[in-house]
Amino acid sequence: MSNQEKKVCFCTLALGNKYRALASLLAKDIDKYAPHTSFVILTDNPNEFSNFSQVLAFKHQQHGVKCYHDKRFVIAQALSLFDSCIFLDADMRILAPVSEDIQWLNEPGITARACFNLPIKFAKVIAGTAEAKYFREFKIVKSAIQKLNLDAEWENIKFVQEYLFAITKDSGKEIQFLRLWEILANYFERNGLYDAEGNAIGLAAYKAGFPVRWGEMPGLSFFNEKIERFRIQKGQSSMDEMSIYFEEHARIAYPKRSILEKLVSKIGESIKYFYRLLRLKIVTN
């Protein structure tokens, strides 16, 4: 990617031991398959990435009640340094050399590996066959749409699968997009919707006039545990060939812990959750 090394970077969010360890595997992949491309990481311990020459690690403490919407800080940091950024979840892997000619980065806005209009996202809700949690999510999203005065246009708004997407600057529209994402993040979390940040991404982009499009992303071969299992079921991949990636992921993501360790961890997470929830209510009152 030498012709674009000053224009594009990879980026991720890595908070906590597990995600820092997973991000380190991803950093090794980038070093191997895209050695001239920077990798921006927002993390609670930048020192863990000091051995990676291509990593630009920045100190970050979790802002949201849950960490999902903190991805916006990663995007903001990356775009302050580069014209484009490719966001990958920290638990993903890159499997092959990255193409030096990434045409899908040339168009301004968001290119998502998976995205679809909100009526498709909430099709089962609209049909009345979804699980209860999705009805609640739909209600909160529709309320946000009303507050943004987008009722008449909601069918054109996209939900962005957040595990892999790229952003290219668009004459300042990306700044408005990030500001709106922050507003929506606070609104969703105040209403108890902590994940599914793809709703906020799509809403903020549409309101800011920031284009969102689907892209196959040719030239970027990746591993995502859930996506890979789906590919294997469809006969598009092989467990034998991908077993090493599943094993490495499982070793870090699902470590063996005693009952006491699990209990201590759960209590610690609960305390942090209630602290962040209280902080959110104070800040947004």
pLDDT over 70, % of the chain: 98
**229/77 Cα distance (integer angstroms):** 32
Same-domain pairing of 56 and 186: yes
Q: Which domain holds residue 151?
A: 2-223
Same-domain pairing of 200 and 101: yes
Output the domain CATH number for residue 170.
3.90.550
Position 6 scores a pLDDT of: 60
User: Over 90: is that where the pLDDT of 263 sits?
Assistant: no
**278/276 Cα distance (integer angstroms):** 5
Residue-averaged pLDDT of the chain: 92
Same-domain pairing of 261 and 176: no
Same-domain pairing of 197 and 84: yes
85 forms beta bridges with: 9, 167
Same-domain pairing of 183 and 261: no
Query: What is the number of domains present in the chain?
Result: 2
Instruction: Please check whether residue 179 lies inside any domain of the structure.
Output: yes
Residue range 149-158, pLDDT digits in tens: 999 999 999 9
Same-domain pairing of 34 and 155: yes
Same-domain pairing of 280 and 155: no
Same-domain pairing of 96 and 188: yes
Q: What is the 3-state secondary structure (H, E, C) of the chain?
A: CHHHCCCEEEEEEECHHHHHHHHHHHHHHHHHHCCCCEEEEEECCHHHHCCCCCEEEEECCCCCCCCHHHHHHHHHHHHCCCCEEEEECCCCEECCCCCCCCHHHCCCEEEECCEEEHHHHCHHHHHCCCCHHHHHHHHHHHHHHHHCCCHHHHHHCEEECCCEEEEECCCCHHHHHHHHHHHHHHHHHHCCCCCCCHHHHHHHHHHHCCCEEECCCCCCCEECHHHHHHHHHCCCCCHHHHHHHHHHHHHHHCCCCCHHHHHHHHHHHHHHHHHHHHHHHHHHC
Residue 2: pLDDT band (50, 70, 90) is: very low
Residue range 9-26, pLDDT digits in tens: 999 999 999 999 999 999
Report which of residues 2 and 206 the model is more confident about. Answer: 206
Same-domain pairing of 50 and 132: yes
Residue range 154-210, pLDDT digits in tens: 999 999 999 999 999 999 999 999 999 999 999 999 999 998 899 999 999 999 999
